[in-house]
């Protein structure tokens, strides 16, 4: 998936192994790129259920919160601009977002070398739909 605005491009991709998936994003502009370190350095997997054609989060809220807190604590030690307050706020926002994602329903349709992921909110309203192409075997 690629979205663009004012020469800034947003890319996302999924790595799938043994019915487990990891989602990554990065931003790129004409000067540099940015990779989400939480996604890249932390294991926050999702699992495919081929029978029900759904994708679900694997970690409990507590596991996600622990992973996130450990990660932002590391960031605050490694980067002087990342204060303890900023780290705490980032962890809280991430956990809030994760809790919301647990209430969502994620379904997928696989067609050839592509799969389309649809995400519905707790009321069943479509929130997003994205199609990923297979890039390697």
Q: Which sequence spans correspond to the domains of the chain? A: 59-102
pLDDT the model gives residue 135: 76
pLDDT at residue 37 in the model: 53
Radius of gyration of the chain (CA): 16
Q: Which of 19, 22, 20, 24 is nearest to 10 (CA)?
A: 24
pLDDT at 39: 52
Residues of the chain short of pLDDT 70, as ranges, are 1-8, 10, 13, 23-24, 26-27, 29-43, 81
Measured distance CA(39)–CA(45) in Å, rounded: 10
Q: Residue 2: its pLDDT value, please? A: 45
Residue 90's CB is within 10 A of a number of other CB atoms, namely 18
pTM, full prediction = 0.70
Helix, strand, coil shares of the chain, percent, nearest 5, are 30, 40, 30
User: Which pLDDT score, from 0 to 100, does residue 3 have?
Assistant: 45
Which pLDDT value is given to residue 72?
Answer: 80
pLDDT of the residue at 77: 78
């Amino acid at each position: 998936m690629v979205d663009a605005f004012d020469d800034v491009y947003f890319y996302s991709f999924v790595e799938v192994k043994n019915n487990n998936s990891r989602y990554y994003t990065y931003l790129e502009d004409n000067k540099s790129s940015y990779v989400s370190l939480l996604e890249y350095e932390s294991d926050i997997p999702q699992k495919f259920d081929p029978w029900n054609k759904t994708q679900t989060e694997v970690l409990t809220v507590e596991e996600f919160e622990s992973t996130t807190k450990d990660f932002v604590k590391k960031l605050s030690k490694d980067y002087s601009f990342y204060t303890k307050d900023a780290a705490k706020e980032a962890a809280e926002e991430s956990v809030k977002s994760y809790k919301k994602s647990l209430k969502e329903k994620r379904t997928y349709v696989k067609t050839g070398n592509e799969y389309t992921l649809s995400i519905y909110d707790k009321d069943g309203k479509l929130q997003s739909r994205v199609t990923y192409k297979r890039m390697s075997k």
